[in-house]
Amino acid sequence: METIHYISADLLSIEKINEIISYDLKLELSEEARINIEKCRNYLDEKMKSHDKPIYGINTGFGSLCNVKIAGENLSKLQENLVKSHACGTGDEVPHEIVKLMLLLKVQSLSYGHSGVQLETVERLIAFYNNDVLPVIYTQGSLGASGDLSPLAHLSLPLLGEGEVYYNGFRQPSHKVLESFGWKPLILKSKEGLALLNGTQFMGAYGVYSLIKASKLSYLADLIGAVSLEGFDGRKEPYTDLIHLIRPHKGQVVTAEKMLEFLDGSEIIEQEKVHVQDPYSFRCIPQVHGASKDTIDYVKKVFRTEINSVTDNPNIFVGEDQIISGGNFHGQPLALALDFLGLGLAELGSISERRTYQLISGLRGLPAFLVNDPGLNSGFMIPQYTAASIVSQNKQFATPASIDSIVSSNGQEDHVSMGANAATKTLKIVENLERILAIELMNASQALEFRRPLKSSDFIEMFIKSYREEVPFVSEDRILHYDIEKSIQFLNSFQIDIED
């Protein structure tokens, strides 16, 4: 197994990022990336020697101060002031896993040679990543246009020996950690502060992390749905390929195929049924889960493009001898995609809770609330309440953020994406979905025991056997909070290969 990932112009996929973080690969610049970075920086240095006209962000102020010309001797101070003044984050801290992704994505974007940064700056970001020196960043403060200014300012502060980082499990001043490595604070050159702060790496990192989790939870939604179908003594005809080939949405077809794979060899699914139809939450699994799969696929395409792009401003084109100020930092593509992803995942939770409700309703020969002696025992009555409350919260989180905009910077930045808010709330939906599916698994596995001595498929039986090592059958009332937490941990530890 490789131990190093080389930053280059090769396509960086969601699948590859998952491999990098799963196997803790170290980062290193390819020779191609190194040359592109140095060529761009050298071009900018030469340009500034002979160019006296204002170039936005290089020898001018920022935002609505873009018409204020800055003297050459102050260009380095200008960039340092930019980083410090924009570090205005607040709220919860960004999870460490997402901070690492921010470092990776920022390095990737700077490596193409259109940003004008020093090689030393990119190498220091790589050193932070490789040594788990993780800047303290906050979830609130980005409008998702002009890039993720505030979060990326906090990401960049430690380059200057400012701000705080986590290292060896402790939060500590950046300058102390730099001293321990023998690193000197960087002196930023013209354009560098803006290159570091302009960009979509906060939204991007949240999106990549959520997509990796979403791919796994989509698989688990199918698998747990199959266990629920067995516990409910459902029918398999709704998964027949003939139905889906005459409405061939990709996600729908794939889900139906997956359900039949999970159920292959089951005694329960093959036994004669008394009922003619199942409720929608079982019968329409291919249509509902499939639509969410298609949503995930679309969002992956958006993020695949974004993480292989240059998103700072202005952009430097060495071959064309041009420095152009534009708007690649605007997060609108990500904001819309993140809202869409949140909707798709919220629906997976919504239909999951409905299956849980059906399982506890005393139907199909199952005892009320899936417990012996109902009345004396409340059984699984209240976990459904919990799932319902989380589903309701997800509906609130699924309200689009991208439809909003607030004017900033004295009207110069008069339309923003709010993609950062879309990013943070989508992650909450992801985490909530995992909890909802964990509760469904608790109920489905309990219901399955009331179908004995019949057995499900070998795959489902193996899955449930593994789960039972963590969460045993509920024979009488006990504190189910612990079962829910163990179920969440079980799903969190479940390993699958994601497909890009």
Helix 285-307 to helix 250-263 angle (10° resolution) is 120
Q: Give the percent of the chain with pLDDT over 70.
A: 97
Q: What is the pLDDT of residue 8?
A: 97
Exposed e or buried b for every residue in 10-28, given b needs 16+ CB within 10 A? Answer: eebebbebbbbbeeebebe
How many residues comprise the chain?
Answer: 500
Q: What is the pLDDT of residue 47?
A: 87
Q: 247 and 192, same structural domain?
A: no
Q: 308 and 261, same structural domain?
A: yes
Q: 10 and 156, same structural domain?
A: yes
Q: What is the pLDDT of residue 65?
A: 63
142 vs 193: CA distance, rounded Å? 16
Q: Give the percent of the chain with pLDDT over 90.
A: 86
Q: What is the pLDDT of residue 49?
A: 81
Q: 275 and 156, same structural domain?
A: no
pLDDT band at 66 (very low <50, low <70, confident <90, very high): low
- Report, as an integer, the average pLDDT of 436-454: 98
Question: Does 56 score more than 80 pLDDT?
Answer: no
Q: 445 and 317, same structural domain?
A: yes
* Last residue within a domain, chosen from 168, 199, 230: 199
Domain coverage including residue 151: 4-199
- Report, as an integer, the average pLDDT of 249-275: 97
- Report, as an integer, the average pLDDT of 281-299: 98
In the structure encoding, which two tokens stand for residue 345, read together?
A: 């995942």
Question: Does 497 score more than 90 pLDDT?
Answer: no
Q: What is the pLDDT of residue 143?
A: 93
Domain count, the chain: 2
Q: What is the pLDDT of residue 1?
A: 65
Is the Cα torsion angle 285, 291, 296, 301 positive or negative in sign?
positive
Q: What is the pLDDT of residue 330?
A: 94
Point out the least confidently predicted range of 110-114, 144-148, 273-277: 144-148
Q: 160 and 120, same structural domain?
A: yes
Query: What's the CATH number where 160 sits?
Result: 1.10.275.10
Question: Does 303 score more than 90 pLDDT?
Answer: yes
Q: What is the pLDDT of residue 71?
A: 64
Point out the least confidently predicted range of 156-165, 224-233, 399-408: 399-408
> For the chain, what is the mean pLDDT?
94
121 found inside a domain: yes
498 found inside a domain: no
- Report, as an integer, the average pLDDT of 373-378: 91
User: pLDDT per residue over 463-479, tens digit each?
Assistant: 999 999 999 999 999 99
366 vs 454: CA distance, rounded Å? 14
Q: What is the pLDDT of residue 189?
A: 92
CB atoms within 10 A of CB 298: 14
Q: 244 and 101, same structural domain?
A: no
Q: 185 and 38, same structural domain?
A: yes
Question: Does 75 score more than 80 pLDDT?
Answer: no
User: pLDDT per residue over 189-232, tens digit each?
Assistant: 989 999 999 999 999 999 999 999 999 999 999 999 999 999 99
Cβ(335)–Cβ(401) below 8 Å: yes
Q: 179 and 214, same structural domain?
A: no
170 found inside a domain: yes
pLDDT band at 48 (very low <50, low <70, confident <90, very high): confident
Query: What's the CATH number where 246 sits?
Result: 1.20.200.10
Q: 394 and 246, same structural domain?
A: yes
User: pLDDT per residue over 332-350, tens digit each?
Assistant: 999 999 999 999 999 999 9
Question: Does 238 score more than 70 pLDDT?
Answer: yes
Q: 266 and 387, same structural domain?
A: yes
User: Annotated catalytic, 166?
Assistant: no
189 found inside a domain: yes
- Report, as an integer, the average pLDDT of 407-423: 87
Question: Does 248 score more than 70 pLDDT?
Answer: yes
- Listed residue (103, 83, 90, 93) closest to 171, CA to CA: 93
- Report, as an integer, the average pLDDT of 14-18: 96
- Of the residues 23, 43, 56, 112, only one is catalytic, namely 56
pLDDT band at 64 (very low <50, low <70, confident <90, very high): low
Q: 168 and 255, same structural domain?
A: no
499 found inside a domain: no
Establish how many alpha carbons lie within 13 A of residue 186's alpha carbon, considering only the half-sphere containing its beta carbon.
Answer: 23
pTM of the model: 0.95
Q: What is the pLDDT of residue 54?
A: 72
500 found inside a domain: no
CA–CA distance from 248 to each of 20, 95, 165, 189, 241 (Å)? 34, 39, 50, 55, 10
Q: What is the pLDDT of residue 193?
A: 93
* Last residue within a domain, chosen from 199, 215, 244: 199
286 found inside a domain: yes
State the SS3 of the chain.
Answer: CCCEEEECCCCCCHHHHHHHHHCCCEEEECHHHHHHHHHHHHHHHHHHHHCCCCCCCCCECCHHHCCCECCHHHHHHHHHHHHHHHCCCEEEECCHHHHHHHHHHHHHHHCCCCCCCCHHHHHHHHHHHHCCCEECCEEECCCCCCCCHHHHHHHHHHHHCCCEEEECCEEEEHHHHHHHHCCCCCCCCCCHHHHHHCCCHHHHHHHHHHHHHHHHHHHHHHHHHHHHHHHCCCCCHHHCHHHHHCCCCHHHHHHHHHHHHHHCCCHHHHCCCCCCCCCHHHHCHHHHHHHHHHHHHHHHHHHHHHHCCCCCCCEEECCCCEEECCCCCCCHHHHHHHHHHHHHHHHHHHHHHHHHHHHCCCCCCCCHHHCCCECCECCCHHHHHHHHHHHHHHHHHCCCCCCCCCCEHHHCECCCCCHHHHHHHHHHHHHHHHHHHHHHHHHHHHHHHCCCCCCCCHHHHHHHHHHHCCCCCCCCCCCHHHHHHHHHHHHHHCCCCCCC
* Last residue within a domain, chosen from 148, 175, 199: 199
Point out the least confidently predicted range of 170-184, 238-252, 291-305, 399-413: 399-413
